[in-house]
Structure 1
Amino acid sequence: MSISKRDFLALGAAAGASLALPAWAQGKPMFDTLNMFVPAAPGGGWDGTARSIERAAKAAGLVGNMQFENVGGAGGMVGLPRFVNQRKGQGNILMVGGSVMIGAGIANKSPVTIKNVIPIARLTEEAGVIVVPSAGKIKTWKELEAAIKANPKAVSVAGGSAGGTDHLILGMLIKALGKNPREAAYVAFAGGGPANAAILGNQVVAGISGYSEFEEQIKAGKMIPLAVSGKSRIPGVNVPTLTELGINVSESNWRGVFAAPGISDVQYNVLIDFVTRLSQSAAWKQELETRKWTNAFMTERPFERDLAKDIADKEVLMKELGLA
């Protein structure tokens, strides 16, 4: 962008008169209405992120109202083209997305990918958790490990969309156990709700997703958490990492927000300022703590560079695992 956020705000300050200041500088919300586009079904991680943004933004006085549109399917590849084609130039809308969308775009060979939207901010990072239903035959990590080593095809695992972080974790796990990742019996779901139902109904052997998506069922004793995929344990959650269990696998899922193509420099800077203020608010910090999300805030050029590297790394990894 030709005008940085710093320059944009400096121009506003230099205007002098209060009438020249943006509305939020006069104690009004930055947006009377902010639209959130969620390229996934209700109940999953992206939807949960969008709802957390709503709660925190309202509590911080940054928005008046928020409207939501959910279009699920194929790890965001169904909704993404709609966002790109129908929301061009609209500066009052944000799309929630993340690392899942990178893998889904590669796996589906989609003509429209995360490269076609404008990165605004990375917000959170969340380790995956591997669970089994309490009513299932497998109860421990050693039992699950043995079953995968015996026959990966017989160990059905529910998770998010094909090519997403959950799918990658399973592929990396199977490879680390000395088996062929292409034999993974991965069952993809468009949202957290259907995946939870499949696990609880014993329709699959295990499940992989972000801890926040399984937390309610874990606390209710309906699911048993066996391992987490992050580099360290989730604070307050007594579940070992895969590394602790002797499996050299570490992968986390990040989530962020993106703008539609064709927005102006001014619209871009307002959205950057919005997410920056959101990330600094007490309400957002509470959301992170409640949902056990790691604060991974990053915006502008640093986020753009990190995103480009993530795309390149996942292209290599998915080819190695036979997923691309």
Structure 2
Amino acid sequence: MRRDTFLKTLAALAAAGALPLPARAAANVKMMIPANPGGGWDITGRALGKALQEAKVADNVSYDNKGGAAGALGLAQFVNASKGDPNAMMVMGAVMLGGIITGKPPVSLTQATPIARLTSEYNVFVLPANSPFKTMADVVNQLKKDPGSVKWGGGSRGSTEHIAAAMIARDVGVDPAKINYVAFRGGGEATAAILGGNVTVGGSGYSEFAEFIAAGKMRPIGVTSGTRLKGIDVPTLKEQGINVEIGNWRGVYGAPGINDAQRKQLTDMVLAALKTKSWQESLEKNNWTPAVLAGPAFGKFVDDEFASLRATMVKSGMV
């Protein structure tokens, strides 16, 4: 093959995203984080961006935080502004599915391209350090007396902590429709409300509250896992007689309209990032459970999870 023909072919393959990772220049990744700074999606997106750079599959990663409506505002911006962009990514997860079910936004997750599930994390419920309540039993007793007097604080409507609160109410004999749930646009806002005593009990992924629990500023009273989390001495809800277990997984999507080769390239980049030292450190630091699932299997998982989550929310009186 003549040299000029070879170079033209190489350029065409690069443009189509069909070259193997070592043969391509590292990408300039644009990471959409559909939440305000400080929350689980923000922590996940920035940890993934750092790992992409450590894996040398990204030269640069820029971040765009767009919070609101359980990620639907960020999803809309991503769908409308990133069409065909092979270097665009969006962090998402179970919370977004719940928000779509309750909020019915004009955009659909099916418009974007599923890439991979990354992690799973369970929620923890906490009390402000100066709360008159000491245990989940105290909260449940008050909930039974006056459901509206217990203010549950957490992420957007349809988040896993919102669903868990409704499931707790239902399991202890309280109408889930009567719970007083205060939704926040991001983990930072929810944390401030809990620390300020503006809500009775707060819920989120353990990683978001870990430093405040360690500092004694929050008192953990229950986790939504089936068994106690590794290295964390907090009883599960099931241990306390409340039959509730719910996990919070997170993943990443690519832009609408990318071709199969570009999708594979993006998937390979993410999988390479998940093998780095920095990503392993993030898993340990945030108590995330690896839950890697890529390709068509991830797309099917999201479809199945959407149906399962909707059924749970209907059963809990949220839909």
Given the two structures, how large is their TM-score scaled by the length of structure 1? 0.90
| Contact 1:29-1:61 within 8 A present in 2 as well | no
Tell me the amino acid that sits aligned with residue 26 of structure 2.
M
Paired residue secondary structure (1:296): strand
1:53 aligned partner = 48
The structure 1 residue matched to 2:278, chosen from 268, 275, 283, is 283
In structure 1, how many angstroms separate the alpha carbons of the residues matched to 2:203 and 2:218?
11
Moved more, 48-57 or 184-193: 48-57
- Which residue pairs with 1:184 in the alignment? 179
What is the correspondence of 1:85-164 to structure 2 with a 5 Å cutoff?
85-164=80-159
Native 8 Å contact 2:89 2:252 kept in 1: yes
1:1-324 aligned within 5 A: 22=19, 24-26=21-23, 30-31=26-27, 33-324=28-319
SS in 2 for 1:145: helix
Distance in 1 between residues matched to 2:288 and 2:34, nearest whole Å: 20
Q: Which moved further from structure 2: 109-118 or 164-173? A: 109-118
Instruction: Give secondary structure in 2 for the equivalent of 1:236.
Output: coil
Partner of 1:8: none
Secondary structure in 1 aligned to 2:300?
helix
**Structure 1: gaps spanning 5 or more residues:** 1-14
- Return the alpha-carbon distance in structure 2 between the equivalents of residues 317 and 140 of structure 1: 26
Mapped to 2, the partners of 1:289 and 1:85 lie a distance apart of 35
Distance 2:201 2:185 in 1: 17
Contact preservation (8 Å) 1:56, 1:287: no
Aligned letter for 2:316? Answer: L
Which deviates further from its counterpart, 99-108 or 145-154? 145-154
Residue 282 of structure 1: CA displacement? Answer: 2.8
Task: Report runs of 4+ in structure 1 exceeding 4 Å deviation.
Answer: none
CA shift at 1:152, angstroms?
1.8
Indicate conservation of the 8 Å contact 2:54/2:273, yes or no: no
C-alpha RMSD of matched pairs (Å):
1.8
Deviation, structure 1 residue 259: 0.8
TM-score normalised by L of structure 2 = 0.92
* Aligned-partner Cα distance in 1 for 2:111–2:98: 15
Distance 1:29 1:279, change over 3 A: farther
Q: Is the 8 A contact 2:95 2:248 kept in 1?
A: yes
Deviation, structure 1 residue 323: 1.7
SS in 1 for 2:302: helix
Deviations 1:137-181 (A, max 9, x none): 112222112112222211001000001111101000110111110
Q: Distance in 2 between matches of 1:243 and 1:321?
A: 17
Moved more, 314-323 or 182-191: 314-323
Find the residue that maps to 2:274 and give its secondary structure: helix
Q: Distance in 2 between matches of 1:156 and 1:229?
A: 18
SS, match of residue 77 in structure 1? helix
CA separation of 1:64 and 1:23: change in aligned 2, threshold 3 A: farther
For 1:30, the aligned partner's letter is A
Q: Is the 8 A contact 1:102 1:113 kept in 2?
A: no
Q: What is the distance in 2 between the residues matched to 1:135 and 1:116? A: 46
- Aligned-residue offset at 1:61: 2.1
Q: Is the 8 A contact 2:52 2:270 kept in 1?
A: no
Distance 1:152 1:118 in 2: 41
Letter in 1 for 2:150: V
3-state DSSP of counterpart to 2:181:
strand
Q: Distance in 1 between matches of 2:244 and 2:126?
A: 16
Q: Tell me, what secondary structure is at the counterpart of 2:163?
A: helix
For 1:223 and 1:98, how far apart are their aligned partners in 2?
25
3-state SS of paired residue (2:166): helix
AA in 2 matched with 1:88 = K
Q: Is the 2:117–2:292 Cα contact (8 Å) retained in structure 1?
A: yes
Q: State the alpha-carbon separation in 2 of the partners of residues 102 and 37 from structure 1.
A: 17
Provide the C-alpha distance between the structure 1 equivalents of 2:254 and 2:305, rounded to a whole number of angstroms. 19
